[in-house]
Amino acid sequence: MAVKSDVTVTIDIQRPTPKLGFGKPLIIGTSAEGMDYKTYYDLPAVLKDFAESSEVYKAVLSLLN
């Protein structure tokens, strides 16, 4: 049986793999009252809505450090 070249594969190890995803983490917490979607740009802004002991605050702190 003859082998035909249907596919050409090129492997380039000189270029790094591109970053997957959007680069913006989404933190989802729980709340009895509910909360609208909100974007935070710094840790003091998170402190206005969440206590330092909350899981959401701890998640943001771990991302920023």
3 domain residue, yes or no: no
Report pLDDT for 62: 92
Counted domains in the chain: 1
The predicted pLDDT at position 1 comes to 63
User: Interior CA angle at 32 toward 27 and 35, to 5°?
Assistant: 50
Tell me how far the alpha carbon of residue 43 is from its chain's centroid.
Answer: 17
How many C-alpha atoms does 53 have within 13 Å on its Cβ side?
A: 0
**Rounded CA gap, 59 and 43, in Å?**
11
pLDDT score for 7: 84
For the chain, 65 residues long, give each residue's pLDDT as a single digit of tens: 667 778 888 877 777 667 777 678 889 988 888 889 999 989 999 999 999 999 999 999 998 88
Domain that holds residue 44: 22-65
Give yes or no for a contact between 63 and 24, defined as CB atoms under 8 angstroms apart.
no
What pLDDT does 44 receive? Answer: 94
- 54 domain-assigned: yes
